């Protein structure tokens, strides 16, 4: 068996590699004695490049096709001449296959929120994620800086490094562009294309890679900011707040139970306001002759009410009157620590 192994090792090799894994970036041909013989045949397929390493240094690179290798290992003779090295040839060679196809659909994302200044929200934290495609363009640099002498270098061994580099560039570009958070969604494609010229110099110069496509799929804000945006959108959709309150009251009363009770309270208040308005109209009609007679004397006076008097006239509580004043619905003038309400302002409030 030893003689057969010896004879087999002296035969010329046919060196080739087919990849079924879909995630292998580089592959070192498993030649046990690393004594690739002079005249060995190398077969390189499309989407592959081969880097030949002789005596530990990068030598020739081979593209797709069949190639005849020239080495210092002459079958049988080099083994015999290497008797002082234990019948091992000192001329060691390696063959590295590198996958140059496009690696698509690689995911990236910000592990932590990105702080940026936004004109709508001030300082805001954003998260982003997407995908990118890349291929190997500089084989010697990739092997030297990334894969090294690994026999089977896979994508998952390098994904974290790629992701952190891309996120770093994206964060800097987004902060520099000063795009409002609400407008980022309309510029996903624009941002992706604009980032390629920024990402590629770093990738090519450091790792021998080219990012061919950079896709920004989503940029999101923290939950509390999302809730604020939703409330703002809801107010825009509602439009006329008075009509919306009436609609909600009708729905609540139709449902019965607690909803009806909650809806009935504003309705009762509205009825009270209506009754008070009619009462004031009657009082005004009765006082009209007296006011006409006293017009010359009272021409320079202003008819004002305290919140208590306004509450009594409306048939509501003082707290309801103060709530309307604080909400800006009922106009009043604060004098010292007290509020005074003109009868004209009260009538304007009742007219809605």
| Residues contacting residue 342 through CB under 8 Å, at least 6 positions apart | 302, 303, 304, 305, 331, 333
The 10 Å Cβ neighbour count of residue 137 is: 17
Do 118 and 216 lie in one domain? The reply is yes
What range does the domain containing 339 cover? 240-283+303-351
pLDDT (tens digit per residue) in 136-177: 999 999 999 999 989 999 999 988 888 888 888 888 877 776
32 and 125, same domain (yes or no) = no
Residue 323: pLDDT above 70? yes
Kindly report the pTM of this predicted structure.
0.57
User: Quick one: 75 and 169 in the same domain?
Assistant: no
CATH number of the domain within which 172 lies: 3.30.479.30
Residues 44 and 80 in one domain: yes
Judgement on whether residues 93 and 120 belong to the same structural domain of the protein: no
**Residue 77 resides in a domain:** yes
Any domain includes 298: no
Residue bearing the bigger pLDDT, 19 or 262: 19
Q: Residue 31 pairs with which residues in a beta bridge?
A: none
Residue 265 falls inside a structural domain: yes
Number of domains in the chain: 3
The reply to whether 188 and 86 lie within a common domain is no
Integer CA distances (angstroms), 231 to 127, 225, 237, 238, in order: 21, 10, 10, 10
């Amino acid at each position: 068996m030893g003689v057969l192994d010896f004879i087999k090792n002296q035969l010329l090799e046919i060196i080739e590699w087919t990849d079924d894994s879909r995630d292998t970036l580089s592959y070192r041909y498993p030649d046990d004695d690393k004594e690739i013989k002079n005249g060995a045949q190398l077969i390189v397929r499309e989407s592959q490049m081969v880097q030949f390493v002789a005596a530990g240094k990068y030598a020739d690179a081979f593209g797709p096709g069949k190639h005849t290798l020239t080495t210092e290992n002459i079958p049988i003779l080099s083994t015999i001449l290497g008797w002082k090295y234990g019948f091992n040839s000192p001329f060691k060679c390696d063959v590295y296959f590198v996958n140059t196809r496009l690696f698509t659909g690689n995911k990236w994302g910000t592990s932590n929120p990105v702080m940026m200044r936004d004109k709508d929200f001030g300082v805001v934290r954003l998260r982003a994620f997407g995908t990118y495609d890349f291929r190997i363009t500089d084989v010697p640099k990739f092997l030297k800086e990334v894969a090294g002498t690994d026999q089977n270098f896979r994508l998952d061994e390098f994904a974290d490094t790629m992701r952190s580099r891309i996120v770093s560039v994206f964060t800097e570009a987004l902060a520099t562009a000063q795009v409002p958070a609400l407008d980022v969604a309309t510029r996903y494609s624009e941002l992706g294309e604009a980032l390629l010229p920024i990402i590629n110099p770093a990738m090519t110069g450091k790792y021998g890679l080219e990012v061919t496509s950079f896709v920004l799929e989503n940029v999101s804000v923290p939950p509390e900011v999302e809730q604020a945006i939703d409330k703002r959108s809801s107010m825009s959709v509602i439009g006329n707040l008075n009509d919306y309150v009436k609609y909600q009251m009708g729905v609540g009363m139709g449902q019965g139970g607690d909803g009806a009770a909650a809806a009935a309270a504003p309705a009762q208040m509205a009825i009270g306001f209506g009754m008070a308005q009619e009462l004031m109209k009657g009082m005004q009609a009765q006082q009209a002759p007296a006011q006409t007679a006293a017009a010359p004397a009272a021409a320079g006076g202003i008819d004002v009410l305290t919140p208590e008097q306004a509450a009594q006239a409306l048939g509501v509580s003082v707290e309801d009157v103060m709530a309307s004043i604080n909400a800006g619905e009922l106009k009043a003038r604060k004098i010292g620590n007290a509020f005074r309400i003109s009868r004209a302002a009260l009538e304007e409030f009742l007219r809605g």
